[in-house]
Structure 1
């Protein structure tokens, strides 16, 4: 199970993971969390608590796209999609994507390129609505 969350897209992904039954928690999970800067990362303590009770492998990969070079951040930088191949390495999986349309679109394309079947990719694109 590959989960890709961009910004506030983490909230629905977190709910899906929290709602999974004990039997489903034996599935391996890779959670890619894309944010602009370290200050934009949230709910990591809750995600780590869920990770501790998970029955299968559960890896969290935060990726920052606009973190200042001089910061103390030691994690991944760039776009979440840049790290899919490194972590997936030809594994079959389902993709659960939630966040801004450009990130979700890019993630979907890379997953398809890596051999994930279109019917195994579930996406929720967040659109900014302008009142008017």
Structure 2
């Protein structure tokens, strides 16, 4: 079983933060219904504007998420948040790689390590 991990580094202006929180609540609710989405977490920096997203998907689940779940929210999301970096860990297929490159992705191939399954509380 292969997976892809995406880590986004972005900023949201303080005056847009509440609207952003409402938007991501909708995206998270839909993402939670995707069986191939393993991790989908947003974190806010102490500065109140730095936001990181950590996403992990079974490889076959990334493109459907980007196109079907995130796609309808993309324009509004990108008006509220400025993406500064996207790191992609894993070996995405060519169609997914092309889609992630539109976000300025930096790709990193697996070198060594392991991942454990987690149990939801």
Report the TM range for the smaller structure's normalisation: 0.3 to 0.5
Per the normalisation by structure 1, the TM-score is 0.35
What TM-score do you get using the length of structure 2 for normalisation? Answer: 0.37
Q: By percentage of residues, which structure has more strand? A: 2
Structure of greater relative contact order (alpha carbons < 8 Å, 6+ residues apart): 2
